[in-house]
Amino acid sequence: MIKSETKIRVRYGETDQMGYAYYGIYAQYYEVGRVEAMRLLGFSYKDVEARGILMPVVDFSINYKKPAYYDDEITVVTRLWEKPIGLRIPFDYECFNSKGELLNTGQVTLVCIDKSTNKLCAMPDWFLAAFDPFFPNNQ
């Protein structure tokens, strides 16, 4: 399993009229968590794109439990439960406030696109090999 925890503070401009973190901002929070999880693999999105692979989101879902408020510190927990296979990479998320209360859960699925053709492609071997230390039984 790959697990990363990322702290994010809710900024004033991310809140709505009720003082809650705007519901749509969580897509950005999830992206921050996903970028940090990718760094655990030994590369960044920038590195992946430089090697000719784009990774767009094809599915996003979220289940809201409690609101976050301006200046709350949120912990975004990002997980990959299994080594990806095929074309899809599913990331699972949980967001917690500083009291440890669960704010929401979600999932984002990415696919690989060949930058030169703009078509779906299999995950390259170098990309898949980066998962091996985290999933020793799935090599």
Among all residues, which ones are annotated catalytic?
Answer: 16
Q: How many CA atoms lie within 13 A of 64 on its CB side?
A: 11
CB 87 within 8 A of CB 24: no
Element (H, E) at 114: strand 113-114
Phi, psi of 80 (to 5 degrees): -120, 115
**Half-sphere exposure of residue 35, counting CA atoms within 13 Å on the CB side?**
12
- Dihedral of CA atoms 100, 1, 91, 126 in degrees, nearest 10, equals 140
